[in-house]
Structure 1
Amino acid sequence: MATNATLKDRPTTRHPVDEVLPIPKLAVYGFQHVLAFYAGAVIVPILLANSIGLTTEQLIHLINADLFTCGIASIIQSVGFWKVGVRLPLLQGVTFTAVSPMIAIGLANGGGTDGLLVIYGAVIVAGIFTFLIAPFFSKLIRFFPPVVTGSVITIIGIALLPVAAADAAGGAGPTLDPTNGKYLAYALGTLALIVVIQRVFRGFMATVAVLVGLVVGTLVAWALGDAHFDAVVNSPWLGVTTPFYFGWPKFAFAAIISMIVVMLITAVETTGDVFATGEIVEKRIGKEDIARALRADGLATTLGGILNSFPYTCFAENVGLVRLTRIKSRYVVAAAGTIMIILGLLPKAAAIVAGIPHPVLGGAALAMFATVAVVGIQTLARVDFHDHRNVVIVATSLGLAMYVTAQPDVAKAVPDWAQIIFGSGITLGSITAILLNLVFFHVGRSRGPAVAGSPGENLVRLDQVNAMSREEFVQTFSRLFQGPQWVVERAYDQRPFSDTQDLRGAFQEALFSATTDEQEQLIGSYPNLGAQTVATGDEGEDSLADQSALGLNRLADKEHEELGTLAREYRNKFGFPLVMAVRDQESFDLILRRGWERLNNSKTQEHATALIEIAKIATHRFDRLVANANPIHSARVPHLDS
């Protein structure tokens, strides 16, 4: 009985994600999420309406519908029901990935409400598609590696910049005037204010920099008579968005395919956001959680098409806000969703937003879209560009995307069914990246990246490396390390290598897993910095290439003496030479300063430091070896010869 009472009375633990805060706190924290999200939420309908020729009244309805559906979508994702919604503090918003394809769809189908109805048809089908594939998407992720997602996100940011530039110059149509100095001042002033806020402020203020830029820019324009809010007076206080307000949706095959590609890309982004949020709130994420999140995306997108809105995905801006505030409760996002639903019922609030002058909006959009491109570049930084296949994928998809973005009339040269694809740089670039990734990495026998040799002759590829004998492997890669070859020999035992990164890792694993005596023997094989034997080539051309990066092979007498003194002091104390990856240093003075600082360390610490420096040197030597092997890479990376 006593045991049962203890178990019954034992308090249950609740994860911070599931904590229900007091209503005042929910309201305050929820409103903060809305502020951080608001500019990104309303800018999509504004850009779309301006581009396809909708009226101010229609734009007001789009903004209301967007906010209303954003609220519903955020509640579905954070609170959840059945197998829908990941139940994390993830706020839903319209994906920027869809902006350019939707504009292309709208313009290709006559613009105005006619084009809008085709957009909604594609959005509804793409939403249903996303909902249905949610449980299977984990099997599709392998078709969307960083080379694909990075290319697409970069293309999105770059392809949207002309839209922002048009707004900055007065807006597409008869108001466009790139020579207007006032437009230029509004755009650059708004952009400058956003940059200043990001530079001066930290925390929450930095997250709402775009919103502040839009508000201040609009107020300045209003004070000078260039912002008009006549529609606010004529708009009702209360208005409910009704399903299919603009008419029944129309379904076009090419438009549907284009939007499905968009949703596949956003599914990858959502997956990343879910894992990122899971880390922030310290909650394990499994396959079912990803499926729940994607079902919520699909359901919200379908609702968006019905309620006159657009495709939805998790908003990364608010993921950052969760990390910043450390408020992990998902009910805070549900409160933000409730606030957005209320705002979506207030046409006067939407009318104020619709009154933002084009140049002010364009200045903010320049910052936002360029940031999207930077995110793409960050993603591409994880790509192994020593593999020429990745270079071809990025270069081809980016080139074709910019081709049709710069020359939109190219779409008129293809049949009607293909004009949606060729009318959007994002759509064409995305499809190109996906298809080329399939061709190079998933279809047929892959030759693999070039990893050693010289262009045109003796070119060694990854599949050939995996087939090498031990002697051939050592002969090919022996130059990565000075002296004994046991590192290369042990790396050979880790075959087969899946890619060049795996090959790099094998050398590092062999280096750091060796015995202390073996490691000290290897360290002792490296020459002193600035040694005469390096300058004469006696230590090998790779040592010469390493040290000539900062001219250590041609030092003046005074500098040579200073470096020699440091090298002697270091060897006398530790019993092995001062090893340093010269290419990672910025100047000769920095080498001296860091060398003298390292003299204060213990021998154990310097032993470990020397191994790390050897690993860095091997990485640089591997890069030079790959540059010689890969004609495309070698054309872009200058390399030294003796």
Structure 2
Amino acid sequence: MNARAVLRSIRPQKKVGAGPTHPVDEVLPAGKLAVYGLQHVLAFYAGAVIVPILLANAIGLNQQELIHLINADLFTCGIASIIQSVGFWKVGVRLPLLQGVTFTAVSPMIAIGMAAGGGTDGLLVIYGAVIVAGLATFFIAPYFSRLIRFFPPVVTGSVITIIGIALLPVAAADATGGAGPTSDPTSGRNLAYALGTLALIVVIQRVFKGFMATVAVLIGLVVGTLVAWALGDAHFDAVAGSDWVGVTTPFHFGWPQFSAAAIVSMIVVMLITAVETTGDVFATGEIVEKRIGRTDIARALRADGLATTIGGVFNSFPYTCFAENVGLVRLTRVKSRWVVAAAGLIMVFIGLLPKVGAIVAGIPHPVLGGAALAMFATVAVVGFQTLSKVDFHDHRNVVIVATSVGLAMYVTAQPEVAQAVPGWAEIIFGSGITLGSLTAILLNILFHHVGPDFGPAVAGQPGEGVRLDQVNQMGRTEFVETFDGLFQGPRWMVERAWEQRPFADTHALRRAFQDALFSGSVEEQRELIEAYPELGSKLVSEGLVGEESLRDQSSKGLTHLAEPDQEALTSLTDAYHERFGFPLVISVRDSDSLDRILAEGRARLGNCERQEHAAALIEIAKIAGHRFDDFLRDANPIHSARTRNPIRSQP
């Protein structure tokens, strides 16, 4: 039975009358599944085998034992990835998420192994702890998932950003030849391989479309490796000495041993890993445009727990969603979870064939590092996209993101910091991802869930501003008096916005004004449009129609025009008013210059009255958006340093 047949046999049948298949659930042709799956494996391989290599060297295992650990790791990675991507019952999130051994467990496992005497004796105690921790994770998954309310965009965005940025030094280390004695940052060849691979990936994605663009990382890895091999920098000597078949059997090194201290330590690791998995699931949900809920987190964590238990039985280690491959999903835009299932089958195959694994292991570090730079940075970009949903007018959110990212980068740039804390805290300070994620979660709880939640200041002067909680408690008259400056003339828009209380954040308050504006009758909207002053009017320059209009038009110098410019603008506004019967309304803060304003006005003279009615409303919404930003900037000192032309607010 081929790979596609296996995937078809486990594919859920689509119900008659069901809607279109989501890209996540799409089963691609067998050839594409194989190529895309191989791309995931190649991008994942170095990260997959580094944990057993580090552990084996630290606790004193011999070469044959290390080879068995690598084969077992790849075999179990494949099984774990299939469980997570395909899913069954309430296990597996059914997203394109590859599973790999968590780096968080490295230091604790080394400590457990050394405390038990090292060698295979230490390995047996590690496996006992891994099995119990996996079972514990499986059973606490539904309870942990109830904490999803503590993972708003300010937390998930911070965690995803931290994951991406914290992984970049790993890519950089590979780009210089690999961590440890093989590293040579001054090597021109290493630099050429890394930048050449990265450049090739970028060029392919720029020049090609469709299938070629989606396998850019795979092509970069293969071409980079072939060039390095031709120049004598890629070696495959280990292939000849590897066995054709290497089957991992349960409890290969002996029956596991159980130590209470080791079990507690590993459960702590899995709890921390659960936070990282939650971040990865949210990141993938953003990429594939699928809403993530509590049940999804529970399914993902159950898969982590089951995979970890299987890992303990089949001589491997704790498993989690691999952030490295989240970046690959975003980079290639291939959203099908069946691609990850295919990658899982390939890994199972490689785990049974050490010679194949030895070929993949021959990819030079600099080549792998060049590809990883693109993938890991892409994860950070997903974090930026998530953070764009955060209300940064609320200074508390600024503190949460800044502190969590800052601490994460602190321990990432200075890993020796972990040696300055007690042993029990090393697991936290030993990983920028762990420390940053926990910081974001705890600060979010402190600022948004402990004590009164006043919300951000939304109007007024620093220290005297009106907070969001006060806005929600305002009567109609007070609300209108506070915000009527957003518009000219009539107040019905502000009154209707008041009716939409309470507002969850400043974004909701902004949307309330926009909704009210476009809900008015034609007559009400016409009255509003007619209340706006003409561009360049003396009434504006003398401040007779409101400070807001003066601020709007003076931002582009319309209140102090030279005589020829004034005549051109007056001629345009007079012609427009004669054509449509109401003033020419343009959000001048969105225009580059007077010439741009004149060109836009002349172009609009050719429109029909209905179109111009709608265009005027859109411009009024933009003007109100800028004025709303002015309110926020005046009320929040943190925004006083923002540019004088705020980001355009779309209605």
The question of a shared fold, defined as TM-score above 0.5 by the shorter chain, is answered with yes
Asked if 2 retains the 8 angstrom alpha-carbon contact of 1:187 and 1:360, the reply is: yes
TM-aligned CA deviation for residue 431 of structure 1: 0.6
CA distance in structure 2 between the aligned counterparts of 1:183 and 1:61, rounded to whole angstroms: 30
Partner residue, 2:40: 37
Partner residue, 2:268: 257
Partner residue, 1:94: 99
SS at match of 1:444: coil
Asked if 2 retains the 8 angstrom alpha-carbon contact of 1:60 and 1:350, the reply is: no
Please state if 1:416 is matched with 2:423. yes
Whichever residue aligns with residue 199 of structure 1, its letter is R
The 1:74/1:104 distance shift into structure 2, 3 A limit, reads closer
CA distance in structure 2 between the aligned counterparts of 1:332 and 1:83, rounded to whole angstroms: 21
CA distance in structure 1 between the aligned counterparts of 2:501 and 2:246, rounded to whole angstroms: 66
The 1:423/1:116 distance shift into structure 2, 3 A limit, reads farther
Partner residue, 2:613: 607
Please state if 1:486 is matched with 2:492. yes
Show the 5 A alignment for 1:502-517: 502-517=508-523
TM-aligned CA deviation for residue 438 of structure 1: 0.6
SS at match of 1:451: strand
Show the 5 A alignment for 1:169-568: 169-243=176-250, 251=262, 253=264, 256-267=267-278, 269-270=280-281, 273=284, 291-292=298-299, 294-307=301-314, 308=316, 310-313=318-321, 316=326, 337-456=344-463, 458-568=464-574
Partner residue, 1:3: none
CA distance in structure 2 between the aligned counterparts of 1:199 and 1:119, rounded to whole angstroms: 47
Whichever residue aligns with residue 205 of structure 1, its letter is M
CA distance in structure 2 between the aligned counterparts of 1:173 and 1:324, rounded to whole angstroms: 34
CA distance in structure 2 between the aligned counterparts of 1:166 and 1:492, rounded to whole angstroms: 55
CA distance in structure 2 between the aligned counterparts of 1:159 and 1:407, rounded to whole angstroms: 12
| Superimposed CA distance per residue, residues 30-87 of structure 1 (whole angstroms, 9 cap, x where no aligned partner) | 314413422333242255467778599777656644543343234434554443346x
Partner residue, 2:629: 623
CA distance in structure 1 between the aligned counterparts of 2:63 and 2:568, rounded to whole angstroms: 73
SS at match of 2:465: strand
TM-aligned CA deviation for residue 598 of structure 1: 2.9
TM-aligned CA deviation for residue 427 of structure 1: 0.9
Partner residue, 2:157: 150
CA distance in structure 2 between the aligned counterparts of 1:471 and 1:78, rounded to whole angstroms: 55
Larger deviation: 258-267 or 306-315?
306-315
TM-aligned CA deviation for residue 635 of structure 1: 3.8
Larger deviation: 138-147 or 26-35?
26-35
Asked if 2 retains the 8 angstrom alpha-carbon contact of 1:258 and 1:421, the reply is: no
CA distance in structure 2 between the aligned counterparts of 1:85 and 1:139, rounded to whole angstroms: 17
Asked if 1 retains the 8 angstrom alpha-carbon contact of 2:52 and 2:70, the reply is: no
Partner residue, 1:27: 30
The 1:479/1:291 distance shift into structure 2, 3 A limit, reads same
TM-aligned CA deviation for residue 144 of structure 1: 0.4
Asked if 1 retains the 8 angstrom alpha-carbon contact of 2:40 and 2:340, the reply is: no
The 1:528/1:48 distance shift into structure 2, 3 A limit, reads farther
Please tell me the root mean square deviation across aligned C-alpha atoms, in Å. Answer: 3.8
Asked if 2 retains the 8 angstrom alpha-carbon contact of 1:190 and 1:217, the reply is: yes
CA distance in structure 1 between the aligned counterparts of 2:427 and 2:149, rounded to whole angstroms: 27
The 1:416/1:557 distance shift into structure 2, 3 A limit, reads same
Whichever residue aligns with residue 576 of structure 1, its letter is F
| Superimposed CA distance per residue, residues 503-544 of structure 1 (whole angstroms, 9 cap, x where no aligned partner) | 112212221212211111111112233334333433323223
The 1:136/1:445 distance shift into structure 2, 3 A limit, reads same
The 1:62/1:630 distance shift into structure 2, 3 A limit, reads farther
The 1:634/1:243 distance shift into structure 2, 3 A limit, reads farther
Asked if 2 retains the 8 angstrom alpha-carbon contact of 1:481 and 1:618, the reply is: yes
Whichever residue aligns with residue 220 of structure 2, its letter is G
Asked if 1 retains the 8 angstrom alpha-carbon contact of 2:41 and 2:347, the reply is: no
Sequence identity percentage = 63
The 1:525/1:241 distance shift into structure 2, 3 A limit, reads farther
- Any gaps of 5 or more consecutive residues in structure 1? 1-10
The equivalent position to 2:146 in structure 1, one of 139, 142, 145, is 139
Asked if 2 retains the 8 angstrom alpha-carbon contact of 1:126 and 1:263, the reply is: no
CA distance in structure 2 between the aligned counterparts of 1:133 and 1:272, rounded to whole angstroms: 22
The 1:139/1:573 distance shift into structure 2, 3 A limit, reads farther
Whichever residue aligns with residue 270 of structure 1, its letter is V
TM-aligned CA deviation for residue 303 of structure 1: 2.8
CA distance in structure 1 between the aligned counterparts of 2:525 and 2:285, rounded to whole angstroms: 42
The 1:404/1:335 distance shift into structure 2, 3 A limit, reads closer
Partner residue, 1:8: none
CA distance in structure 1 between the aligned counterparts of 2:467 and 2:564, rounded to whole angstroms: 46
CA distance in structure 2 between the aligned counterparts of 1:392 and 1:18, rounded to whole angstroms: 37
**Please, what TM-score do these two structures have when normalized by structure 1?**
0.84
Larger deviation: 33-42 or 285-294?
285-294
CA distance in structure 2 between the aligned counterparts of 1:502 and 1:438, rounded to whole angstroms: 22
Aligned length: 615
SS at match of 1:552: coil
The 1:391/1:362 distance shift into structure 2, 3 A limit, reads same
CA distance in structure 2 between the aligned counterparts of 1:117 and 1:559, rounded to whole angstroms: 84
The 1:542/1:379 distance shift into structure 2, 3 A limit, reads same
| Superimposed CA distance per residue, residues 352-405 of structure 1 (whole angstroms, 9 cap, x where no aligned partner) | 221222222222221111111111111111100001110110011111111222
The 1:147/1:58 distance shift into structure 2, 3 A limit, reads farther
Whichever residue aligns with residue 98 of structure 2, its letter is G
